[in-house]
Amino acid sequence: MCGIVGYIGAQNSVPVLINGLESLEYRGYDSAGVAVLSEGVINIRKTKGKVANLRDLLLEQPAAGNAGIGHTRWATHGAPSDENAHPHFSNDDKIAVVHNGIIENYQELKARLQEKGYVFHSDTDTETVAHLIDDFYKQGNDLLESVRKTLNVIEGSYALGVLCTDYPDQIIAARKESPLIVGIGKGENFIASDIPAILKYTKDAYILGDKEFALIKADEIKIYDIDGNEVHHDVYTYSWDVEAAQKNGYDHFMLKEIYEQPKVVSDNLARRFSEDGKHIELDGIKLGKAELENINQIYIVACGTAYYAGLVGKYLLERMVRIPVNAEVASEFRYKDPLIDEHTLVIVVSQSGETADTHSALKLAKAKGSRVLGVVNAVGSSIARDSDDVLYTLAGFEIAVASTKAFSAQVIAMYLITLHIAQELGTLDEKNFVEIKNALMKLPSQINDILTKAVPAIRGFVDKYIGSKNVFYVGRGLDYVVGMEGSLKLKEIAYLHSEPYAAGELKHGPIALIESATLVVGVVTQEALFDKTKSNLQEVKARGAKVLAIAMQGNTSIEEVADDVIYIPRTHWMLTSVLANIPQQLFAYYMALGLGEDIDKPRNLAKSVTVE
């Protein structure tokens, strides 16, 4: 949500800012703008709509300067409009500010500033920050101190970039709960919400900590805590290259990311086993037998797709470790005063590591004394930093808003965590472990198999079912969870109404909605539940529904009730979720493609949801 990029150095900042903003488009936004400083004047260009509109505006009204800040805004306070787009000026056009996050006490601050004579030109919370800095500045503080004092009065979350006409050689950046990094160049430096924005120029960065701010000049970077004490961070070098943030010949990032899954899964399995192959070894997790014996329940907390990966974990852990596991969406967990304590292990799952609800849930869990295990993709993100133990999901950049490869990586993490806990607590014997391990190792080539062979059939099913108005995803056990993820994908990118249901629950209400040609996607990979789900599919079929089934190779009797079947390669019951989800991803992708939707940037959605 919202993207920030900033530059100071010898180049004209405008192309750097525009390229950077384009690389951050995946985060979701509805307006864009830049502020550039030259010869004692800050010029702001901003507009509703895409970065391409901003490019056009800059052709009509050029701007240039060696220092600049840019922003893509995802509207929270006030509609998407030119006025509400960032950057925002202080009243005398001396200070310009870009901001991600939410200033929770902005109304109270705004009233105070208005009493002092400040005039507001937008509906945003951000404009308050520009005026506040200006107010402290006018009281005789220098710019850095004015920013620090401002940080001490604003409440909420922020990543900030600040420019001031009196300090043409510097940018100030600050962060609390919204991501911001300071990119390190040679004779030039950067700020960015995420590394793709500046990867063209540098892979080295400081990851700002919570409530830290930085003074950035072309040849110097200083970082301070909120009390003004200088702090020192190690340089973090990103291993990804520019290629990783490009489509590389694919029409969409989503498709590219779907096809990256064999590699992602294999990366996540590499070096996770001891040399003799008999144990799981998870770097970064210090949860041994003693710690685990102290735990009497597990909570898995996440949002959206990450939550569904967590649900896979719940089914597996309960079945294989026989320990009570609750899976909760973070936005509910955080406000329900959950029954957790120091004997609870809380597993938080997040691709971005910045999801506001998940991060707040983590903080609540820690405050109640629980141990937090983060399953995170983004290195150095807030959730990774604040977790007691971290298992990184090694999915690389995921740029499409609709999560695909990150889900597969999260599910693999759930497999590994389950195996680890089961082994430590002695609920899994060596024979079963080896059987599961062997099945795990086959997953990358099995995913590859689906990707190479299933596409023509899936495209055919899309042609057949593209007119559907309502789609149900049904299954039992792990298949039900996979259906939830399939349903979410279809909603997100094809804008099709779809609902996941536990197959056995249909007859308690939803079956009333089944009519001629309603599409029901039946996920039937759990062989122990096969006959039960098959009967439920028979029931919807009898009421006129069209049934598209996803089943394991060999279970051809599903053809008795299904109009069409997609077969996945045979695997251990525990591991079907990753395989069964691949055809669902492709189905949603080709549906959205057929319907002409904006696949990588679906309406109203953002890649990283940093507001409640």
- Between residues 97 and 207, which has the closer beta carbon with respect to ligand M6R? 207
Binding of ligand M6R by 487 (CB under 6 A): no
Binding of ligand M6R by 193 (CB under 6 A): no
Binding-site member from 358, 370, 387, 577 for ligand M6R (CB under 6 A):
358
Closest contact distance (angstroms) between CB of 608 and ligand M6R is 6
Binding-site member from 170, 387, 403, 585 for ligand M6R (CB under 6 A):
403
Cβ neighbours around 611 below 10 Å, total: 17
Binding of ligand M6R by 608 (CB under 6 A): yes
Per the CB < 8 A criterion, the answer to whether 392 and 384 are in contact is yes
In the 8-state DSSP scheme, what is residue 170?
Answer: -
Binding of ligand M6R by 215 (CB under 6 A): no
Output the six-digit token pair for 537: 């599919």
DSSP 3-state assignment of 453?
A: helix
Closest contact distance (angstroms) between CB of 308 and ligand M6R is 8
- Between residues 48 and 489, which has the closer beta carbon with respect to ligand M6R? 489
Catalytic site includes residue 363:
no
DSSP 3-state assignment of 567?
A: strand
Amino acid in position 84: N
Per the CB < 8 A criterion, the answer to whether 216 and 205 are in contact is no
**Among candidates 406, 430, 408, 407, which has minimal Cα distance to 419?**
430
Closest contact distance (angstroms) between CB of 440 and ligand M6R is 23
Per the CB < 8 A criterion, the answer to whether 419 and 436 are in contact is yes
Element (H, E) at 163: strand 158-164
Binding of ligand M6R by 610 (CB under 6 A): no
Binding of ligand M6R by 352 (CB under 6 A): yes
209-237 residues labelled b (16+ CB within 10 A) or e (exposed) = eebbbbbbbbeebebbeeeeeeeebeeee
3-state secondary structure 268-293: HHCCCECCCCCCECCCCCCCCHHHHH
Closest contact distance (angstroms) between CB of 467 and ligand M6R is 24
Cβ neighbours around 495 below 10 Å, total: 14
Beta bridge partners of 390: 374
- Between residues 188 and 357, which has the closer beta carbon with respect to ligand M6R? 357
Amino acid in position 94: K
- Between residues 302 and 474, which has the closer beta carbon with respect to ligand M6R? 302
**Among candidates 75, 50, 48, which has minimal Cα distance to 605?**
75
Closest contact distance (angstroms) between CB of 243 and ligand M6R is 22
**Phi, psi (degrees; rounded to nearest 5) at 221:** -130, 125
Beta bridge partners of 44: 35
Binding of ligand M6R by 178 (CB under 6 A): no
Q: Which residues 497-536 are close enough to bind ligand M6R by CB under 6 A? A: none
Which residue among the candidates 46, 176, 546, 607 is catalytic per the annotation? 607
Strand ranges for 63-143 from DSSP E: 67-73, 88-89, 95-100
Amino acid in position 303: C
Q: Which residues 295-314 are close enough to bind ligand M6R by CB under 6 A? A: 303-306
| Helix, strand and coil percent figures for the chain, each rounded to 5 | 40, 25, 35
Binding of ligand M6R by 355 (CB under 6 A): yes
Binding-site member from 401, 520, 558, 566 for ligand M6R (CB under 6 A):
401
Binding-site member from 147, 402, 521, 550 for ligand M6R (CB under 6 A):
402
Given the rule CB under 6 A, which of 102-110, 177-185, 192-200, 346-354 is the region that contacts ligand M6R? 346-354
Catalytic site includes residue 164:
no
Given the rule CB under 6 A, which of 1-9, 349-357, 467-475, 506-514 is the region that contacts ligand M6R? 349-357
- d(CA 189, CA 7) in angstroms, rounded, equals 6
Binding mask 224-263 for ligand M6R (x = CB under 6 A): ----------------------------------------
Binding of ligand M6R by 609 (CB under 6 A): yes
Binding of ligand M6R by 351 (CB under 6 A): yes
Binding-site member from 22, 492, 534, 591 for ligand M6R (CB under 6 A):
492
Q: Which residues bind ligand M6R (CB under 6 A)?
A: 303-306, 350-352, 355, 358, 401-403, 488, 492, 605, 608-609
Residues identified as active-site: 2, 607
